[in-house]
Chains A and B, each alone.
Chain A
Amino acid sequence: MPDRYHIHTTITPGRFYRVGKFGGIDWREDCARCSECVKPRCNYEVHEHEALHNRDPRAALRPLYECKACFSCVQGCTKGLLSLSINPEYLEMGDEYWTPDIIHTTWVQADAGKIPVSGAGYRGPFHGTGFDSIWTDMSEIVRPTRDGIHGREYISTSVDIGPKPMRLEFSPDGRMITPPAHLLEIPLPVILDIPAWPVRETGLALARAAAARRLGTVAVLFARDAAAVPESDLGSVVPIVSAEDIEKRRDLIRNSSSMIQLPDGPEIDAAAAEVRKLKPRSIVSVRMTLRPDTADRLVALAGKGLKVFHLCADPHGRERGGDGTPGRHIKDALREIHGRLVGEGFRDEITLITSGGIALAEHMAKAIICGSDLVAADTALLVALGCRVCLNAHSLLIDGADLGSPEFRDPECPIKSAAGDLHYAARRMVNLMGAWHSQLIEVLGAMGIREVRRLRGEVGRAIFREEIEKEAFGDLDRMPMEPVTA
Chain B
Amino acid sequence: MTTTIADLKRQNNERYQRPGNSDYPQETVERIVRPAPDRYRNAIGKFKVDRLANCIACGRCAEVCSYGVHAKPEGYKYTIRPQDYRCIGPACLETGQDCVSQCPVHALRVRLNPNAECLGDPRWSSDLVLATWHMAETGHRPPAHLEYRLGESGGGFDRIRFKFEVDGSEPDRALADKPEDPASNSGPEADTGLELNRRGDNRPRIRIDIPVYGGGMSFGSVSIHTILAKARAMTAWNSFTCTGEGGYPDRLKPYDDHVITQVATGLFGVREETIRRVRIVEFKYAQGAKPGLGGHLLGDKNTPDVAQMRGAVAGNALFSPFPFHSVYSVEDHKKHLDWIKEVNPRCLVSVKVSTPTDVDMVAVGSFYAGAHIIHLDGSYGGTGAAPDIAKKNIAMPIEYAVPKVHKFLSAESIREKVTLIASGGIRTAYDALKAIALGADGVVIGTTEMIALGCVRCSTCESGRGCPRGIASTDPEMVALMPLDWATQRLINLQNAWREQMIYVLKKLGLPSIQSLRGRTDFLCYMDDSINTKDVAK
Contacts and interface: CB of A to CB of B under 8 A. Distances in A.
A479 B391 contact: no
A188 B212 CA distance: 45
B387 A151 contact: no
Given A135-B379, A139-B356, A68 B458 contact: yes
Contact of B158 (A44, A126, A135): A126
Nearest to B158: A126
A466 interface: no
A430 to B, nearest CB: 19
A121 B289 contact: yes
A445 B321 CA distance: 11
A479 B531 contact: yes
B525 A85 contact: no
B196 interface: no
Given A70-B469, A126-B154, A147 B123 contact: no
Contact of A118 (B81, B323, B381, B385): B385
A227 interface: no
Given A120-B461, A121-B447, A446-B292, A362 B526 contact: no
B38 interface: yes
B461 to A, nearest CB: 3
A75 B38 contact: yes
Most B-side CB within 10 Å, residue of A123, A134, A476: A476
B161 interface: yes
Given A76-B40, A443-B389, A480-B536, A120 B118 contact: no
Contacts of B365: 141-142
Contacts of A85: 114-115, 117-118
Contacts of B285: 140-141
A71 B291 CA distance: 31
Contacts of A334: none
B121 A117 contact: no
Contact of B42 (A25, A74, A366): A74
Interface residues of B, number: 118
B118 A138 contact: no
Contacts of B425: 121
Interface string A25-43: 1000000000000000011
B526 A484 contact: no
B468 interface: yes
Interface string B497-536: 0000000000000000000000001101111110111011
Contact of B123 (A77, A122, A148, A446): A122
B160 A476 contact: yes
Contacts of A25: 114
Given A121-B383, A126-B156, A471 B393 contact: no
A78 interface: yes
Contacts of B333: 141
B183 interface: no
A150 interface: yes
Given A446-B292, A476-B526, A140 B354 contact: yes
Given A117-B388, A138-B291, A70 B456 contact: yes
Interface stretch (B16-24, B89-97, B399-407): B399-407
Interface in B442-482: 447, 450, 455-465, 467-469, 472, 478
Contacts of B467: 119
B531 A137 contact: no
A260 B167 CA distance: 63
Contacts of A484: 166-168, 533, 536-537
* Closest 5 A/B residue pairs (Cβ): A126-B155, A119-B461, A446-B292, A75-B40, A144-B328
Interface of B: 38, 40-44, 81, 114-115, 117-119, 121-124, 152-156, 158-161, 163, 166-168, 285-286, 289, 291-294, 296, 298, 319, 321-325, 327-330, 332-333, 353-354, 356-359, 361-362, 365, 379-397, 399-400, 402-404, 424-425, 438, 447, 450, 455-465, 467-469, 472, 478, 521-522, 524-529, 531-533, 535-537
Given A124-B392, A141-B362, A142-B361, 5 more contacts: A70-B458, A135-B394, A137-B394, A445-B322, A481-B527
